[in-house]
């Protein structure tokens, strides 16, 4: 996870996500750097719109709507919404960030 976090940190700072940047962040955090993992991460993120990926991941992980405030509980309407399990969401993120 440290490798993905380093890429997100670089993205958040507006820096390019390249091998030297990822290595610098990891070293600053005290993580022993694995060059193969760094290369794999950078290669997998090439051409990926990170903002779009983050918004899609946040949408998939959004909590259910809160119940109505007030005295009596609101009557729930049953809607067919696709459910995404934690494993499916994690697999999607794993495919995105390697």
What distances in angstroms separate CA 37 from CA 1, 19, 21, 51, 80, one per listed residue?
11, 10, 13, 22, 40
Whole-model pTM? 0.59
Domains of the chain by range and CATH? 2-60+84-97 (1.10.10.1410)
- Per-residue pLDDT tens digits for 19-53: 999 999 999 999 999 999 999 999 999 999 999 98
Instruction: Find out whether 57 and 93 touch, Cβ atoms under 8 Å.
Output: yes
Within 10 A of 41 (CB to CB), how many other CB atoms are there?
20
């Amino acid at each position: 996870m440290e490798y993905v976090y380093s890429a997100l940190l670089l993205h958040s700072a507006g820096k390019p996500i390249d091998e030297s940047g990822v290595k610098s962040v990891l070293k600053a955090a005290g993580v022993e750097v694995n060059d193969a993992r760094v290369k794999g991460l950078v290669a997998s993120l090439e051409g990926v719109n990170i903002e779009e990926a983050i918004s899609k991941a946040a949408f998939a992980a959004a909590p259910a709507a809160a119940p109505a405030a007030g005295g009596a509980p609101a009557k729930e309407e049953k809607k067919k919404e696709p459910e995404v399990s934690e494993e499916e969401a994690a697999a999607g993120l794993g495919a995105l960030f390697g």
